[in-house]
C-alpha cells in the first residue's frame, strides 16, 4: 500500500482534516486563555472581562466570547432588565480547560527563571 493511499488519522491535530484542530486553534489563540482565566471565580460582565484582560479591544473580546460560547467553553447569561445585564461564566468544559491552564501556569512559574536565563544567553550570543 502506498503512503499516499493511507487515510489521514482524524484524531491527529497535525492533519488539516482533524476535527479537533479548530478547537486547538481556538484555545491556543492570543486571548482565549486570558478570557477563561478572567472567569475563574464566577460570572463576569463584559466590561470587567475587558478591564481584566489588558490590551484586548471590545471588538476582539466580543468575537472571542462568541467563539467560546459556540464551542461550549463559556455560557452567556442575560438578565431581563433595562438595559439587559449580560454576564459570562465557565461551563464544565471550560472549567476542565482552566484546570489544564493552571497546570501550564504552574509550569511557567517553575521554569520562568531558567527561561529568562536562556533568553539572555541567546540574546548575548546573537
Q: pLDDT tens digits for 89-114? A: 999 999 999 999 999 999 999 999 99
90: domain range?
Answer: 31-125
Residue 11: inside a domain: no
Strands 74-79 and 44-45 turn out to be unpaired
Assigned domain for 25 exists: no
- Return d(Cα 28, Cα 104) in angstroms, integer: 12
Residue 15 lies in a domain: no
Report the C-alpha dihedral over residues 50, 53, 59, 63, rounded to 10 degrees: -110
Strands (E), 4-110: 44-45, 74-79, 85-90
Q: Per the domain annotation, does 60 fall within a domain?
A: yes
The count of structural domains within the chain is 1
Domain-embedded: residue 39: yes
> What confidence score (pLDDT) does residue 57 get?
97
pLDDT by residue (tens digit) across 10-51? Answer: 677 788 888 888 888 899 999 999 999 999 999 999 999 999
Query: Is residue 55, in this structure, part of any structural domain at all?
Result: yes
- Exposure of 51 in the CB half-sphere (CA atoms within 13 A): 5
N- to C-terminal Cα separation, the chain? 47
Note whether residue 85 is domain-resident: yes
Domain of 99: which CATH number?
A: 1.10.10.10
Record the pTM.
0.82
Amino acid at each position: 500500500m502506498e503512503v499516499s493511499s493511507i487515510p489521514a488519522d482524524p484524531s491527529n491535530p497535525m492533519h488539516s482534516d482533524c476535527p479537533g484542530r479548530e478547537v486547538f486553534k481556538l484555545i491556543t489563540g492570543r486571548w482565549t486563555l486570558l478570557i477563561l482565566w478572567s472567569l475563574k471565580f464566577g460570572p463576569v460582565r463584559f466590561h470587567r472581562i475587558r478591564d481584566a484582560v489588558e490590551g484586548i479591544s471590545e471588538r476582539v473580546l466580543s468575537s472571542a466570547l462568541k467563539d467560546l460560547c459556540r464551542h461550549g467553553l463559556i455560557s452567556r447569561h442575560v438578565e431581563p432588565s433595562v438595559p439587559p445585564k449580560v454576564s459570562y461564566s465557565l461551563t464544565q468544559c471550560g472549567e476542565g480547560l482552566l484546570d489544564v491552564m493552571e497546570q501550564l501556569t504552574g509550569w511557567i512559574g517553575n521554569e520562568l527563571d531558567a527561561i529568562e536565563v536562556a533568553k539572555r544567553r541567546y540574546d548575548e550570543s546573537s
